[in-house]
Amino acid sequence: MKLLYCLISLILLVTVQALTEAQIEKLNKISKKCQNETGVSQEIITKARNGDWEDDPKLKRQVFCVARNAGLATESGEVVVDVLRGRVRKVSDNDEETEKIINKCAIKRDTVEETVFNTFKCVMKNKPKFSPVD
């Protein structure tokens, strides 16, 4: 019985959604391109990826740049809600939870950077395994 429990636990652990190698590679490529444009430090990016979102203008421009390049925001700063919904759904338990997260997080702010920054900060807080890229 213990062996069966351990085996099931191992299978669940392995199948928990995490970023794939392709997603990591694509995200790193976009992030590096944006980092060259924004000048944000790697330390601040790493902190944000780990849930410590500094209120830094360069980080906000970085997040907006990544979102634009990943198809999650338009050039004018509008969050592409349908694309966001699809990517949140990949790490969500169900459609109802996905809609709650979208309604809670995708809120227009004073600037495009603020809107995208706060949207992704909120999504990542609710779904840490969320990936902005396919």
For a pLDDT cut of 90, what percent of the chain falls above it?
A: 68
Q: Which domain holds residue 49?
A: 39-134
- To the question of pTM greater than 0.85 for the whole model, the response is no
Asked if residue 67 is part of any domain, the answer here is yes
Asked if residue 31 is part of any domain, the answer here is no
CA distance linking residue 98 with residue 102, whole number of Å = 6
Predicted confidence (pLDDT) per residue in 14-33, tens digit:
333 467 888 789 988 999 99
Asked if residue 18 is part of any domain, the answer here is no
Block residue for tokens 């906000």: 60
Q: pLDDT class for 93, splitting at 50, 70, 90?
A: confident
- What are phi and psi for residue 79, nearest 5 degrees? -70, 130
Asked if residue 26 is part of any domain, the answer here is no
Q: pLDDT class for 10, splitting at 50, 70, 90?
A: very low
CATH number of the domain that residue 112 is part of = 1.10.238.20
Domain count for the chain: 1
CA distance linking residue 20 with residue 107, whole number of Å = 28
Angle, helix 112-126 to helix 95-105, in steps of 10 degrees: 140
Give yes or no for residue 5 having a pLDDT over 50: no
